[in-house]
Amino acid sequence: MLKIENLVVSYNSIEAIKGITLEVNEGKIVSLIGANGAGKSTTLKSIVGLVKPQRGSITYQGKDLLSTPTKDMVKHGITLVPEGRRVFANLTVLENLKIGAYSRKDEKEVQKDLEWVYELFPKLKERSWQQAGTLSGGEQQMLAVGRGLMSRPKLLMMDEPSLGLAPLIVKEIFHIIKEIHKQGVTILLIEQNANAALKISDEAYVLETGLISMKGKGKELLENS
């Protein structure tokens, strides 16, 4: 579905990504794991066109993504949930979710998806009229994912959804990610939390200072870690 080949990305003269190749097959959960500064976010930003790689290729269902504008990603079914639980703090939960459906006109469809998101995240339903800025960190992360789902992604990419959250909340969020996957969404997960990510991953890649140092089935890497 998504193919990255020999990708090189530099900031000024510093190479953040030094030639990586990876693949996300349709219907899988794939993780890209690495420490702070390894190049995980740079990889994600390259996919959606927020940084311009110096070399290599990125294709999605055979289509060249490097020449696809960022604003068209959602149209192609690619949604990125950015790092840092970005929510519109002054808007309600419901308003935040509706923003996720901004590109779609059919009210009935949007309503159906809203119900889908509320089913996945009952906590968001309970709090639909609450200002997003007053939610807990975990709830804000759920809202950020829920808003991503409102654009009906085929490929949902998440940048460190577990960052700064308590273990129980992380467990809950990862359980929901598995649930989202079961309902037909392909997932690319970026994580520092190797344990949590590997447990739910079909395939995983370990990124170290801009290079893939390991790859394999999630469970195998978990056993070897």
d(CA 177, CA 184): 11
**What are the residues whose beta carbons fall under 8 Å from the beta carbon of 119, sequence distance 6 or more?**
none
**Binding characters for ligand ADP, 106-125, by CB under 6 A (x = yes):** --------------------
31 binds ligand ADP (CB under 6 A): no
Pick the stretch among 39-47, 112-120, 177-185, 196-204 that binds ligand ADP (CB under 6 A).
39-47
User: Which one of residues 2, 4, 41, 47 is an interface residue with ligand ADP (CB under 6 A)?
Assistant: 41
- What is the secondary structure of 92-111 as a DSSP string? BHHHHHHHHTTT---HHHHH
36 binds ligand ADP (CB under 6 A): yes
102 binds ligand ADP (CB under 6 A): no
d(CA 107, CA 203): 37
87 binds ligand ADP (CB under 6 A): yes
Distance of alpha carbon 146 from its chain centroid, rounded?
Answer: 11
Inter-helix orientation angle 93-100/137-149, to 10°: 30
* Residues contacting ligand ADP: total by CB under 6 A: 14
Give the residue from 3, 1, 22 showing the smallest Cα distance to 210: 22
Pick the stretch among 23-31, 38-46, 178-186, 211-219 that binds ligand ADP (CB under 6 A).
38-46
Integer-rounded Cα Rg, in Å, for the chain is: 17
164 binds ligand ADP (CB under 6 A): no
Give the residue from 177, 214, 167, 158 showing the smallest Cα distance to 34: 214
Pick the stretch among 84-92, 174-182, 193-201, 214-222 that binds ligand ADP (CB under 6 A).
84-92
Distance of alpha carbon 109 from its chain centroid, rounded?
Answer: 23
37 binds ligand ADP (CB under 6 A): yes
Q: Name the residue nearer to ligand ADP (CB basis): 1 or 87.
A: 87
Min dist CB 88 to ligand ADP, Å, is: 4
Q: Which positions touch ligand ADP (CB under 6 A)?
A: 11, 16, 34, 36-42, 82, 86-88
